[in-house]
Amino acid sequence: MLNLFNLALKLNGYPIGKARQVLKNIQNKNESDFKAYVEAKKQDIVAFHLTRNAFYKSFAKNANPLAWDTVPVMTKSDLQHPPDTLWSDGFSKQKVYIDKTSGASGHPFTFSKDKFCHAMTWAVIQDRFGWYDIDFNASRQARLYGIPLDAQGYFKEKFKDMMSHRTRFNVFDLRDAAFEDWLRVFRNKQPDYINGYTSPMVLFAKYLQQKNIVLKTECPSLKVCIPTSEMLFKEDRTLMEKQFGVPVINEYGASELDLIAFENPEGQWQVTSETLYVEILDEHDQVVPYGEAGRLVITALYNKAQPFIRYDIGDEGILSRQSTLKIPILEKLTGRTNDIAVLPSGKKAAGLTFYYITKRIIDKDCTVKEFVVEQLTPDTFKIIYVSSEALSKNDRTRITAEMETYLEKGLRINFERQDQLVRLKSGKLKQFRSYLNTNP
């Protein structure tokens, strides 16, 4: 079979063959050699950008490549500049991969990667998917992502779908009638795996549950489901595994970086140490020990086009005590640092706390398909939900009481029923949003 996916990468200037060989060489290093490799790559990428990147020279005036604690932490807001002002010497629009983040974090921006760096990203993705017998050049994908609506963007994605054996499903229409069509496509196309946003997968699983259908029986070719880009809750994963009839594999990534962590066959969230250097830092930018929570700060070891060095991605997490430098294990991803609710007393709570509490109650009522939580004022929250019928007074009272039990008294919870939730342009669903400090 023709390796159309890899051929498309190669024709677009991404040396995937070389990248796969480099990745293999890295993986074959023993622990001692791997440590030396990481230290050398850290020093090299800092030194490169200090000498070749005007933005980074100005940003990291006091950085010393040989003293990592002198290297400053950067945030998304630091990088919200025109792309060409962030490029290193020798790079131009024709020599880089350019894309935009979705804006789910509140800090949308355009980023760039040099072409070898982007090839390394795809080499890692192919390697990880290969753990589950998925071959990008042969396996058929059911793709649950958004798609650009402008003509050029639309046809570019459709061409990529064709080259990559992908069948794209419309995540902006999640009615039962649309799911009937989805099921028909699964029966006819017989894809090998599902990849895409978590929330439409959950709704499709709920539809299958109502119809008493297991997808694997209708689509015997299906091997695995890999949700991405949105939080995967334990209850949703259980439902999806039951209704899809295949394993659900958790991944965590960022388009401006790489695949950050991917669930390995042992059930561990393995961090991509080959191309990224991941640190967990406290509020003083000090590294915390394995097993303790902090901010995820990540260095892209291969991106020479634009610096992502000690980059605070805006998430919090914990690296397991079983981690090693070569195989770090992400034990827990505790949520975005900017998704924080500030209560009237001054107490702070992760925004997803509200989602967890409400979800546990609403999941007992199968008429509610999905919902989001918004903070309007310190004491006022709104739950926007999609349901065939309005929540009863008893349900609303229970949700309010549960929130006050877990958080504090005196909260006002408003409920708004809608036919369909508003998604980001990318098709993602942002489950919690605070309007107290909205970023422009």
Classified as helix, coil or strand, 66 is coil
- Encoding tokens for residue 316? 């919090």
pLDDT at residue 211 above 90? yes
Residue 438's pLDDT is 47
Task: Give which of 365, 421, 399, 367 is closest to 230, Cα–Cα.
Answer: 421
Nearest to 252 by CA among 300, 313, 312: 313
With pLDDT > 70 as the criterion, what percentage of the chain qualifies? Answer: 92
What is the arithmetic mean of pLDDT over 91-114?
Answer: 77
pLDDT in tens, 220-238: 999 999 998 777 888 899 9
| Residue 189: band (very low, low, confident or very high) from pLDDT cuts 50, 70, 90 | very high
Cβ contacts of 388 within 8 Å, gap of 6 or more: 367
Q: Which helix (H) or strand (E) holds 159?
A: helix 151-163
Per-residue pLDDT for 439 more than 50? no
Range scoring the smallest mean pLDDT among 156-170, 346-360, 400-414: 346-360
Name the range with the highest mean pLDDT among 59-68, 231-240, 331-340, 341-350: 59-68
Which homologous superfamily does the CATH classification assign to the domain defined by 340-434? ANL, C-terminal domain (3.30.300.30)
Euclidean distance between CA atoms 376 and 112, whole angstroms: 35
**4-334 CATH, one of 3.40.50.12780, 3.30.70.60, 3.40.50.300, 3.40.50.150:** 3.40.50.12780
Q: Which of 335, 314, 431 is nearest to 375 (CA)?
A: 431
375-391 average pLDDT score: 91
Q: Confidence band (pLDDT; 50, 70, 90) for 158? A: confident
Tell me the domain boundaries of the chain: 4-334, 340-434
Rounded average pLDDT over 157-181: 84
Phi and psi based region of residue 156 (left: phi greater than 0; alpha: psi -120 to 50; beta: remaining): alpha
Provide mean pLDDT across the span 331-340. Answer: 70
What are the pLDDT digits (tens) for 27-69?
999 999 999 999 999 999 999 999 999 999 999 999 999 999 9
**Strand 311-319 versus strand 330-336 pairing type:** antiparallel
% the chain with pLDDT above 90: 58
Mean pLDDT value of segment 298-323: 95
Q: Using CA atoms, how far apart are residues 39 and 301, in angstroms rounded to an integer?
A: 10
Contact 227, 201 (CB under 8 A): yes
Fold agreement (4-334, 340-434): no
Q: Could you tell me if 361 and 402 are in contact, meaning their C-beta atoms sit under 8 angstroms apart?
A: yes
Please choose, from the candidates 268, 273, 216, 256, the residue with its C-alpha nearest in 3D space to the C-alpha of residue 240: 216
The pLDDT score that the predictor gives to residue 381 is: 93
So what's the pLDDT on residue 365?
59
pLDDT at site 304: 97
Q: What are phi and psi for residue 434, nearest 5 degrees?
A: -105, 135
pLDDT winner (highest mean) among 14-23, 81-90, 106-115, 363-372: 14-23
The residue that leads in pLDDT, 229 or 73, is 73
pTM of the model: 0.81
When pLDDT is averaged across residues 82-111 and rounded to a whole number, the result is 80
Q: Are 271 and 261 in contact (CB under 8 A)?
A: yes
Mean pLDDT of 395-407: 86
The reported pLDDT for the residue numbered 350 is: 65
Beta-bridged to residue 280, according to DSSP, are 296
User: Kindly report the CA angle at 44 between 38 and 47, in degrees rounded to 5?
Assistant: 140
Range in 26-40, 179-193, 295-309, 419-433 the model is least confident about: 419-433
pLDDT, tens digit (0-9, with 9 covering 90-100), for 280-306: 999 999 999 999 999 999 999 999 999
Asked if residue 103 has pLDDT above 60, the reply is no
H helix and E strand count, the chain:
12, 20
| Higher per-residue confidence, 239 vs 433 | 239
Q: Of the candidates 81, 14, 74, 77, which has an alpha carbon nearest to the alpha carbon of residue 45?
A: 74
pLDDT of residue 440: 35
Summarize the confidence of residues 380-408 as an average pLDDT. Answer: 88
For 36, the token pair is: 């030396």
Reported as a pLDDT band with limits 50, 70 and 90, residue 366 is low
**What is the C-alpha separation between 423 and 405, in angstroms, rounded?**
30
Q: What mean pLDDT do residues 98-126 have?
A: 82
- pLDDT class for 146, splitting at 50, 70, 90? confident
More confident residue, 290 or 332: 290
Mean pLDDT calculated for residue range 201-216: 95
125-145 average pLDDT score: 94
Instruction: Tell me: pLDDT of 105 over 60.
Output: no
160-174, 345-359, 384-398: range with highest mean pLDDT: 384-398
> Has residue 109 got a pLDDT over 90?
no
> For residues 297 and 100, what is the distance between their CA atoms, to the nearest angstrom?
20
